[in-house]
Amino acid sequence: MTRPAANSTRRNGTVRCAIYTRKSSEEGLEQEFNSLQAQREACEAFITSQRHEGWVCLPKAYDDGGFSGATIDRPALQQLLADLTAGRVDIVVVYKIDRLTRSLADFAKIVEILDARGASFVSVTQQFNTTTSMGVRRDKAALSSGCEAHPAIRSSRKQPEQAWRRRNV
């Protein structure tokens, strides 16, 4: 993946960050504060921590509540991909990789779109960040080996099992 240095927004110092959130079920979305809002707050805090790099959070909400991550046929994700293609987004920020997609093939498609636009991808709770050349090399290598080798994915898959063992041993 390439860094978005070629984008015109980088030249004037602004890096446009789009936050994508997803929750598989509609359960709890009616609450005053729900999972989508919690994901957004964490992503906003991360973007704020990168303000010195010129990062700004785009006000548009790309929220897919009640949609599975098994497919990319989701309204907010499709709008995000259209905005990426149109050059309106420099970095896609998610709370966790599986909020974007659970499919390696779909993730590869999204990465192609990011690459074509010189855009980057960041997961704030996992060590997945393509805004640096080191992150690009490591993350591309992990993807080419089937994604399971990526440390962020390995650790996130082990956490539920480890929590269950602590409760039941």
19-28 pLDDT, tens per residue?
999 998 888 8
Average pLDDT for the chain? 79
Instruction: List pLDDT tens digits, range 86-117.
Output: 999 999 999 999 999 988 899 989 989 999 99
Q: Closest Cα to residue 1, out of 83, 90, 124? A: 90
All structural domains of the chain with their residue ranges: 4-168
Q: Are 96 and 123 in contact (CB under 8 A)?
A: yes
d(CA 18, CA 79): 11
Q: What is the assigned CATH class of domain 4-168?
A: alpha beta
Given a contact cutoff of 8 angstroms between Cβ atoms, the answer to whether 39 and 112 are in contact is no
* Look-up of token digits 């991808």: 121
**pLDDT at position 148, please?**
45
Q: How many CA atoms lie within 13 A of 114 on its CB side?
A: 24
* Single-letter amino acid, residue 129: N
Q: For a pLDDT cut of 90, what percent of the chain falls above it?
A: 53
Answer for the pair 124, 42: CB distance below 8 angstroms, yes or no.
Answer: yes
pTM over 0.85: no
